[in-house]
Amino acid sequence: MNDRDDTSRCVVVGAGPGGMLLAYLLARAGIPVTLLESQRDFDRDFRGDSLHPYTLELLHTLGLADDLLRRPHFRARNFRFHTPVTTLTLTDYGKVRSPFNYVALMPQARFLDFIAGEAATLPTFTLRTGSKVTGLLEDGGRVSGVRYRDEDGEHDLPAELVIGTDGRFSKVRRLAGMRAEPLGATTDILWFRLPRRDTDPAEADVDLYFGAHHYVGLLGSPQTWQVGYSLPKGDYPEAKKRGIEPIRRFLREHVSWLADRAHLLDDFGRTTLLSVDISRVPTWHRDGLLLLGDAAHVISPVGGNGILMAIQDAVACANRIVPAWRSGSVTESDLAAIQADRAPAIRQVQADQVAVEQRLARARERGRPISPPSLLKLLAAVPGVRARNARKNAYGPHPPRLDLALLDR
């Protein structure tokens, strides 16, 4: 065992958007924080890329938005449903009253690299990549730090608080003996990329194309389209046996303007399977330990709001633990208050996602085409509804506001 001189009031495990932003906020408030990331970089394909107006406004208040948005990104202003007989514009972000009236689609690695660079200028921030947590340190039943392994061996890192932000397969959650309870996902997604062309529809931003038994989701970027093809949960082995042609045929039939490049998807090796999950840990905390983001509540990619929920968890957490530390120490009641702050929003988002999943499952069971309900078709024709949907998606339910005074040291 190699013991280092490292000491932090807080160890954050997992450098996704929520963990990265939380570590930045704590360091900017003068709290010594170490961020551990098991991988050596942030470059993983088909992670969430959506930065909502809430996130961009938050970064603006932190003085970071302008520099971030100088990096290549795609500005999505609409969310549309397409069926074989109609197109419905459900959300118009252009109607959101914000200087950021769009969703910025940016590769997650680019966003994380940027925030990490800003955090590195703060004296109380430490980032350790290639550092895999292997155990929790405990003192009388209280979590008092982590054990992690890197290229130099194993190390103990004591801390007053450990925060697990290490995603849906959270190692911290498993080590703590905490279990996420499934809520009812019925779909998996095959992701792949196709090139973007100047002749592509100018209005295409974030679009869903529905057919019988499957749908395709499109996310724009400056050079490519990120494409997600739905499968019934657990159907991947059978889909692989059927081969790539059924997916190309779906694109030619339902996304006709991509037909001229469907042939570029020539092998299953060009796809990445995302097993969709919707689940939640009943209690997100133990004495000395807190789970946030997908480690505490797995959000489906439907709606693209997983990053938004993780960012808002980070804000709610900083609002609670910075003043607690400044007045003494963080107690388990402080951690319980963070969950109480965030639980109503998470329950609402997940309930909406479960409802969508159940509708998709019923359509598949009945052999009927997957399509939006009739009421939704009527509502989509009302401009005011598009604006309300945009605001709901832009900010999520019960969005927390960062107490900027906490950043004054």
| Domain termination residue (choose one: 243, 275, 307) | 275
Q: Both 44 and 65 in a single domain?
A: yes
Q: Confirm whether 54 is domain-assigned.
A: yes
In angstroms, rounded to a whole number, what is the distance separating the alpha carbons of residues 381 and 379?
5
Per-residue confidence band for 409, with pLDDT thresholds at 50, 70 and 90: low
Which is more confident, 69 or 376?
69
pLDDT at 369: 59
pTM above threshold 0.75 = yes
Q: Both 60 and 150 in a single domain?
A: yes
Tell me what the mean pLDDT of segment 94-114 comes to. 94
Give the least confident one: 19-28, 153-162, 336-345, 370-379. Answer: 370-379
Q: Both 41 and 152 in a single domain?
A: yes
Residue 342 has pLDDT above 80, yes or no: yes
User: Over pLDDT 70: what percentage of the chain?
Assistant: 92
pLDDT at 261: 96
Q: Both 297 and 259 in a single domain?
A: no
Q: Confirm whether 289 is domain-assigned.
A: yes
Q: Confirm whether 3 is domain-assigned.
A: no
Residue 214 has pLDDT above 90, yes or no: no
Per-residue confidence band for 86, with pLDDT thresholds at 50, 70 and 90: confident
Q: Are 132 and 152 in contact (CB under 8 A)?
A: no
| Highest averaged pLDDT of the listed ranges 66-75, 270-279, 296-305 | 66-75
Q: Both 287 and 325 in a single domain?
A: yes
User: Over pLDDT 90: what percentage of the chain?
Assistant: 72
Q: Both 37 and 129 in a single domain?
A: yes
In total, how many domains does the chain have?
2
Q: Both 171 and 45 in a single domain?
A: yes
Mean pLDDT rounded to a whole number for the chain:
91
pLDDT at 222: 83
Per-residue confidence band for 380, with pLDDT thresholds at 50, 70 and 90: low
Q: Confirm whether 198 is domain-assigned.
A: yes
Nearest to 90 by CA among 102, 78, 98, 100: 78
| Domain termination residue (choose one: 242, 275, 308) | 275
Number of continuous H segments (helices) and E segments (strands) in the chain: 11, 21
Residue 268 has pLDDT above 70, yes or no: yes
Q: Confirm whether 406 is domain-assigned.
A: no
What confidence tens digit (pLDDT) does each residue in 281-322 have? Answer: 999 999 999 999 999 999 988 767 899 999 999 999 999 999
In angstroms, rounded to a whole number, what is the distance separating the alpha carbons of residues 13 and 172?
8
Q: Measure CA 213 to chain center.
A: 26
pLDDT at 28: 97
Q: Both 43 and 105 in a single domain?
A: yes
Q: Both 299 and 268 in a single domain?
A: no
Q: Both 151 and 207 in a single domain?
A: no
Q: Both 17 and 87 in a single domain?
A: yes
Query: For the domain that residue 12 is a member of, what is the CATH number?
Result: 3.50.50.60
What confidence tens digit (pLDDT) does each residue in 44-64 have? Answer: 765 678 999 999 999 999 999
Q: Confirm whether 409 is domain-assigned.
A: no
Give the least confident one: 27-36, 105-114, 170-179, 363-372. Answer: 363-372
Tell me what the mean pLDDT of segment 331-342 comes to. 98
Q: Which residues of 106-143 are buried (b: 16+ CB within 10 A; e: fewer)?
A: bbbeebbebbbebbeebebbbbbeebbbeebbeeeeeb
Domain span holding position 89: 8-183+277-400
Q: Confirm whether 213 is domain-assigned.
A: yes
Q: Confirm whether 405 is domain-assigned.
A: no
| Domain termination residue (choose one: 275, 301, 327) | 275
What confidence tens digit (pLDDT) does each residue in 218-263 have? Answer: 988 888 999 999 999 999 999 999 999 999 999 999 999 999 999 9
Query: For the domain that residue 250 is a member of, what is the CATH number?
Result: 3.30.9.10
Q: Both 355 and 291 in a single domain?
A: yes
What confidence tens digit (pLDDT) does each residue in 181-203 have? Answer: 999 888 899 999 999 999 999 88
Per-residue confidence band for 135, with pLDDT thresholds at 50, 70 and 90: very high
Query: Starting from the edge strand earliest in sequence, which strands make up the sheet with 78-82, in order?
Result: 87-92, 78-82, 206-210, 215-220, 224-232, 187-195, 272-275
pLDDT at 45: 62
